[in-house]
Amino acid sequence: MRGEARERWVQLCEQAAVEQDHDRLLKLIREISALLDEKEARLQAAQSGKQKRLSLKTDGSTHKLD
C-alpha cells in the first residue's frame, strides 16, 4: 500500500498542475497534503526506530550513535 500511496501523490500533483477548476484544485491539494503528511509521519517513525536500534548499552549506560 505504501508504494500505491507514494505513486498516488505524484499522480495527483500531475493532475493539479493542469487543473482549471478552482474547487477541484483545492480538493487535489488537500489530498496531496494528507498523503505527504502520512509519508512524513512514516519517515519520522522509521528514523526514530533506527535511532533506537543504534543505541548501544555499554556498562549500564546508553550511548547513541550519530
Kindly report the average pLDDT of the chain as a whole number: 82
> What are the pLDDT digits (tens) for 45-58?
988 877 766 665 44
Each domain of the chain, given as residue ranges in start order, spans 2-63
Q: What is the per-residue pLDDT for 66?
A: 55
Average pLDDT over residues 21-42: 95
CA 60 to chain CA centroid, Å, is 35
Please tell me the predicted confidence (pLDDT) of residue 33.
96
**pTM of this structure:** 0.66
Percent over 90 (pLDDT), the chain: 50
Question: How far is 38 from 64, CA to CA, in rounded Å?
Answer: 27
